[in-house]
């Protein structure tokens, strides 16, 4: 369905009421730690990442620190994280690239960030918006699910199309906050398996939710040829 401006405003209002202070839950103190944390978060919960990085960030402060140990040592340090072997390799490759190409400093543009090992568009968007204050909209599994349920994107849209459609519907000044609010909405309310449809202020916009609650969908009017 195509959402009206009034419905977009309803979504904005609901998110603002429910999660006015939504933020990046990956704990970090600088852009470098954020890049590492987001890289580790792929197919892993933020809770687990924060548990691991609480020790990791005490041990490793700079790109040089990560490169000063054997890969097996780094793997052992992050073994609680899913795909830890590949992620350890990506971390060391990323650190090498930072030192070789950026004087050890995390770049602040998406174009530069995506050249780093283990950094895709989502990670780059999170970093430029959270660490550098550049308006960006990152799409993770929570954001994708919420966007499709609320009719902001089609069910068969890929991640790039979801990102593009949402950015067109909402003002640029809202992109970063909206990203965090949609994550909170998907993580704590509109969950994958047990969404809070019975108390959802946006149920009327959600076809899946109405079906789940047994609410009849409005039939389309017959169009005469």
pLDDT score of 224 more than 60: no
Q: Is 49 exposed, middle or buried (0-12, 13-18, 19+ CB in 10 A)?
A: buried
Cβ proximity of 130 and 138 under 8 Å: no
Which pTM was predicted? 0.90
95-114: per-residue pLDDT in tens?
999 999 999 999 999 999 99
Catalytic residues: 122, 140
List, by residue range, all CATH 1.10.1670.10 domains of the chain: 5-21+138-211
**CATH code of domain 31-130:** 1.10.340.30
Measured CA to CA, the distance from residue 170 to residue 187 in angstroms comes to: 21
| Tokens encoding 52 | 């691991």
Cβ proximity of 157 and 142 under 8 Å: no
Q: What architecture does CATH give domain 5-21+138-211?
A: Orthogonal Bundle (1.10)
List, by residue range, all CATH 1.10.340.30 domains of the chain: 31-130
Measuring CA to CA, how many Å separate 52 from each of 26, 88, 107? 11, 13, 24
**pLDDT (0 to 100) of residue 16:** 97
pLDDT score of 120 more than 80: yes
pLDDT score of 86 more than 70: yes
123-170: per-residue pLDDT in tens?
999 999 999 999 999 999 999 999 999 999 999 999 999 999 999 999
49-85: per-residue pLDDT in tens?
999 999 999 999 999 999 999 999 999 999 999 999 9
């Amino acid at each position: 369905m195509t959402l009206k401006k009034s419905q977009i405003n309803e979504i904005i209002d609901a998110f603002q009421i429910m999660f006015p202070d939504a933020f990046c839950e990956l704990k970090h103190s600088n852009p470098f730690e954020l890049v590492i944390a987001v890289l580790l978060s792929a197919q892993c919960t933020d809770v687990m990442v924060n548990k691991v990085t609480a020790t990791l960030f005490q041990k490793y402060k700079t790109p040089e620190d990560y490169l000063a140990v054997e890969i097996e040592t780094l793997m052992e340090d992050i073994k609680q994280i899913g795909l830890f072997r590949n992620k350890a390799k990506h971390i060391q490759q990323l650190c090498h690239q930072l030192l070789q190409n950026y004087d050890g400093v995390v770049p602040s543009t998406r174009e530069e960030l995506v050249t780093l090992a283990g950094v895709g568009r989502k990670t780059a968007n999170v970093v430029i918006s959270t660490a550098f204050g550049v308006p960006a909209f990152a799409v993770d599994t929570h954001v994708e699910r919420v966007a499709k349920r609320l009719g902001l994107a089609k069910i068969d849209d890929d991640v790039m199309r979801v990102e593009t459609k949402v950015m067109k519907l909402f003002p640029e000044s809202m992109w970063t906050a909206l990203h965090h609010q949609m994550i909170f909405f998907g993580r704590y309310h509109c969950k994958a398996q047990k969404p809070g449809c019975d108390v959802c202020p946006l149920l009327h916009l959600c076809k899946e939710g109405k079906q789940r609650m047994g609410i009849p969908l409005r039939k389309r009017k017959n169009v005469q040829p």
